Amino acid sequence: MSGEGKISVHVRYGDFEASFSGSLEGVWLSLNSFFGEFLPSFGVARRLVLSVDLQNLAKDCEGVVGFSVEGANVLVGKDRLTDVECLLLWLLAGYLGFGLGLLKSDVVGKEDLQARLGKSGKIVSTRLGELVKSGWVLKADGEGYRISTFGVIQVQKEVLPKIKAKVSG
């Protein structure tokens, strides 16, 4: 390892050789790409494994979520969002901010979500329970929640386009 939070990996396969260095997630993504290119069976498996391209996710989130020194921000007014969309955006912002190294954790506290949504604890608990049941959200230790990989992919595919249409329309 070189530096705090950094990892370096050197791979040699036949005549092919590659070195990867950076964040754990960045190196993991580079290794997956390397194996996918050079080992066909890994390519098949890679197509079945759910993974998130942080660069594309960040691009898709432009104008919807943002980050400041205070933390994550949802840039769309909650009056234009359903409760579920609002919760998903806050959890997505946590995921993205953590993945980009802007936040210390991808877990968002229930009380924070309740304050951000401006709804009662019962409503927030009900919506979060529905999202957990659907597999889009995971309950973390304590009173926190995080969006699942499946949830990120679904939000990117289904929810973000609807929100962007609402905002531009």
Question: What architecture does CATH give domain 55-168?
Answer: Orthogonal Bundle (1.10)
The reported pLDDT for the residue numbered 25 is 81
- Residue 2, pLDDT score: 41
- pLDDT at 48 (0 to 100): 73
* pLDDT for the residue numbered 113: 94
Report pLDDT for 1: 37
Q: Match 């754990």 to its residue by tokens.
A: 24
pLDDT of residue 4: 59
**161 φψ region: left (φ > 0), alpha (ψ -120 to 50), beta (else):** alpha
CATH 1.10.10.10 occupies which residues in the chain?
55-168
Residue 39, class by beta-carbon neighbours within 10 Å (0-12 exposed, 13-18 middle, 19+ buried)? middle
Determine the Cα–Cα distance for residues 106 and 147; give it in Å rounded to an integer.
8
CA angle, corner 112, sides to 139 and 151, nearest 5? 40
Q: For each of the chain's 169 residues, which pLDDT tens digit applies?
A: 344 578 898 887 666 778 888 888 888 888 877 776 666 665 566 677 778 888 899 999 999 999 999 999 999 998 999 999 999 999 999 999 999 999 999 999 999 999 999 999 999 999 999 999 999 999 998 889 999 999 999 999 999 999 998 888 6
